[in-house]
């Protein structure tokens, strides 16, 4: 059903999993719902179905809003909290599974440990440009909603049916797919609905997943989202929108990581807007999120102007003061000139 999942690749994966001892399951820096869901699900399958010593190793701690996706039963190491432990875990693993990113560089703090490891490595991902040479086995296609969906089809085949997967594994996959598609709004394929249908038929509580993702925010988020849309959204004559979430605004609204999830999508609701950018000021850079309508490439914009990449219509990157722009206050001018050039 998914062309990159061939029976010979499944056989190779099965042999790697059967033959291994310790496994590290890894995803990208700034982990999102798909990174959390796919790593949680892989780890649960390895531990509960195969009895393996598997742990999730992430470059950074999960934001509060998606922490529910990682069940307490999954051993989890975060490189920003315990870098030595994370690196040691990778060094002693006899198999590495990388999910929801196209290569080592997207794991930032874990990159050196991955390069130093000579364990076989498996990539399961849906981004463009998979770094094939870094892996012994690659399952990769952009023609799928999420890494969680791709993993679902792989695990279903390995386990011999949806119902053979642990309930917590199915729930994590459901959450990962739901967040990456923005609840079936983007990157949805026939296979995505088939996955949802099979998960619900097998008793997965989608209502609970939806409740956790969309109905448990703090009041601050709602007030901040309203403020950004009414006061900070700038529309350009070229059909773009951008917003800058400065440190000052973050402090005023008591902002926490993850609380502007979905904000960058909002301006695309305007007929004239084909590209939307959100810049969020961090300690050493501005993090950039880009979304576009069909026919305009968010990915190209992120690659050309923001040191980044991603998917055709959902991408990201960063802008570094002292490197790309003199100071944070120059971001506005940089963005406007980039948009003018890109959309000309
Ligand atoms: P978000 O805007 O939600 O942070 O990211 C949207 C998409 O862009 C995700 O698929 C993410 O993997 C990708 N992305 C975000 N930041 C970067 C980056 O710095 N580099 C690359 N290559 N991709 C990114
Ligand atoms: Mn993803």
Q: Closest residue (by CA) to atom 13 of ligand 1?
A: 310
pLDDT tens profile 273-324: 999 999 999 999 999 999 999 999 999 999 999 999 999 999 999 999 999 9
Ligand 1 lined by 99 (C-beta under 6 Å)? no
CB 111 within 8 Å of CB 105: yes
Residue 315: φ, ψ to 5°: -140, 175
Q: Are 167 and 204 in contact (CB under 8 A)?
A: yes
Tell me, in angstroms, the distance from the centre of ligand 2 to residue 180's CA: 6
> Among residues 4, 7, 72, which one has the least CA distance to residue 43?
72
CA of 164 to the centre of ligand 1 (A): 33
Work out which ligand 1 atom sits closest to the CA atom of 308.
20
* Count of Cβ atoms closer than 10 Å to residue 318 Cβ: 18
Q: How far is the CA of 264 from the centre of ligand 1 (A)?
A: 13
What are the structure tokens assigned to 10, written together? Answer: 């499944």
Which ligand is nearest the CA of 100, by number? 2
At 312 the three-state DSSP class reads: coil
- Residues around ligand 2, an ion, CB closer than 5 A: 34, 100, 146-147, 180
Residue 99 and residue 63 share a domain: yes
**Which residue has a Cα nearest atom 16 of ligand 1?**
316
SS3 136: coil
Residue 59 Cβ < 6 Å to ligand 1: no
Identify whether 145 is part of a domain.
yes
Q: What is the DSSP letter of 28?
A: -
Which pLDDT does position 221 carry in this prediction?
97
pLDDT score of 172 more than 90: yes
Q: Is the dihedral of CA 85, 87, 89, 92 positive or negative?
A: negative
Domain boundary among 190, 214, 238: 214
Query: Which two tokens mark 217?
Result: 């925010």
Q: Which of 196, 214, 232 is the last residue of a domain?
A: 214
Domain stop point among 214, 238, 253: 214
Q: How far apart are CA 228 and CA 314, in angstroms?
A: 20
- Number of structural domains (the chain) is 2
Is the confidence at residue 1, as pLDDT, over 90? no
Determine the distance separating the centroid of ligand 1 and the alpha carbon of 160, expressed in angstroms.
33
For ligand 2, the distance from its centroid to the CA atom of residue 221, given in whole angstroms, is 23
Q: Which atom of ligand 1 lies at the shortest distance from residue 303's CA?
A: 22
Average pLDDT, the chain: 97
Q: How far is CA 292 from CA 229, 276, 300, 308, 319, in A?
A: 17, 6, 11, 15, 19
Cβ of 310 closer than 6 Å to ligand 1, yes or no, is yes
% of the chain residues with pLDDT over 90:
100
Residue at 206 is within a domain: yes
* Mean pLDDT of the 119-125 span: 98
Pick from 316, 317, 318, 324 the residue to mutate for probing ligand 1's pocket: most ligand atoms within 8 Å of its CB: 316
> What gap in Å lies between CA 201 and CA 236, rounded to an integer?
46
Whether the CB-CB separation of 98 and 125 falls below 8 Å is answered with yes
Residue with the two structure tokens 């695990």? 155
User: Could you tell me if 45 and 100 lie in one domain?
Assistant: yes
Torsion over CA: 111, 112, 115, 117 (sign)? negative
273 and 313 within one domain: yes
Sign of the torsion formed by the C-alpha atoms of 284, 303, 99 and 188: positive
DSSP characters for 210-264? HHHHHS---HHHHHHHHHIIIII-EE-TTSEEEEEE-HHHHHHTT--TTTTTTGG
For the Cβ of 172 lying below 6 angstroms from any atom of ligand 1, the answer is no
Q: For residue range 53-104, what is the model confidence (pLDDT) as tens digits?
A: 999 999 999 999 999 999 999 999 999 999 999 999 999 999 999 999 999 9
Residue 298 resides in a domain: yes
Q: What is d(CA 222, CA 227) in angstroms, rounded to the nearest whole number?
A: 9
- What confidence tens digit (pLDDT) does each residue in 138-170 have? 999 999 999 999 999 999 999 999 999 999 999
Atom of ligand 1 nearest to the CA of 278: 2
Within-domain flag for 65: yes
Nearest residue by C-alpha to atom 20 in ligand 1: 308
| Residue nearest atom 12 in ligand 1 by C-alpha distance | 310
CA 128, CA 130: separation in Å to the nearest integer?
6
User: Residue 86 is part of a domain; what is its CATH number?
Assistant: 3.90.1640.10
Q: What is the pTM of this model?
A: 0.96
Same domain, yes or no: 205 and 307: no
Residue 2 lies in a domain: no
Residue 332 CA, ligand 1 centroid: distance in Å: 20
What residues make up the domain containing 77? 7-214
Ligand 1 lined by 291 (C-beta under 6 Å) = no
Query: 338: pLDDT confidence band, cut at 50, 70 and 90?
Result: very high
Q: Are residues 128 and 266 in the same domain?
A: no
- State both tokens at 318: 């960063």
Query: Are 203 and 234 members of one domain?
Result: no
| Residues 52 and 182 placed together within one structural domain of the fold | yes
Look at the block and give the residue holding tokens 């386990």: 159
Judge whether 173 lies within some domain.
Answer: yes
Query: Which domain CATH number covers 301?
Result: 3.10.310.30
Closest atom of ligand 1 relative to the 127 alpha carbon = 10
From the list 151, 25, 148, the residue with the least C-alpha distance to 76 is 25
E strand intervals along 264-307: 275-281, 286-292
Nearest-5° angle of CA 32, CA 145, CA 202? Answer: 95
Question: Do residue 210 and residue 252 come from a single domain?
Answer: no
Ligand nearest to the CA of 261: 1
For residue 181, which ligand has an atom nearest its CA?
Answer: 2
Tens digits of residue pLDDT in 31-47: 999 999 999 999 999 99
Pair (264, 305) in one structural domain: yes
Statement to judge: residues 189 and 223 lie in one domain: no
């Amino acid at each position: 059903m998914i062309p990159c999942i061939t029976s010979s690749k499944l056989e190779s994966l099965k042999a790697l999993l059967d033959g291994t001892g310790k496994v590290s399951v890894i995803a990208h820096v700034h982990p999102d719902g798909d990174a959390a869901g796919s790593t949680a699900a892989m780890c649960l399958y390895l531990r509960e179905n195969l009895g393996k010593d598997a742990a999730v190793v992430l470059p950074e701690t999960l934001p509060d809003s998606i922490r529910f996706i990682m069940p307490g039963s999954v051993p989890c190491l975060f490189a920003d909290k315990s870098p030595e432990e994370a690196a040691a875990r990778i060094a002693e693993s006899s198999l590495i599974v990388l999910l929801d990113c196209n290569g080592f560089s997207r794991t930032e703090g874990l990159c050196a440990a991955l390069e130093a490891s000579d364990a076989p490595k498996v990539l399961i991902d849906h981004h463009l440009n998979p770094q094939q040479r870094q892996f012994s086995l690659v399952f990769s296609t952009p023609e799928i909603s999420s890494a969680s969906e791709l993993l679902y089809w792989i695990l279903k085949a390995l386990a011999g049916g949806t119902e053979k997967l642990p309930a917590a594994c199915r729930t994590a996959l459901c959450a990962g797919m739901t967040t990456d598609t923005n609840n079936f709004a983007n990157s949805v394929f026939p296979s995505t609905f088939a996955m949802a249908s099979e998960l619900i038929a097998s008793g997965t509580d989608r209502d609970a997943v939806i409740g956790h993702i969309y109905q448990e925010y703090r009041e601050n988020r709602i007030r901040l989202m309203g403020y950004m849309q009414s006061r900070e959204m700038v529309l350009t004559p070229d059909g773009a929108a951008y917003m800058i979430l400065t440190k000052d605004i973050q402090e005023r609204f008591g902002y926490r990581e993850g609380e502007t999830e979905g904000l960058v999508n909002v301006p695309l609701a305007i007929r004239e807007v084909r590209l939307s950018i959100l810049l969020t000021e961090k300690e050493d850079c501005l993090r950039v999120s880009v979304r576009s309508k069909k026919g305009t490439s968010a990915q190209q914009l992120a690659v050309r102007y923001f040191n980044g990449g991603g998917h055709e219509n959902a991408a990201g990157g960063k802008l570094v003061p002292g490197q790309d722009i003199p100071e944070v206050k120059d971001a506005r001018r940089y963005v406007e000139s980039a948009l003018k050039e890109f959309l000309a």
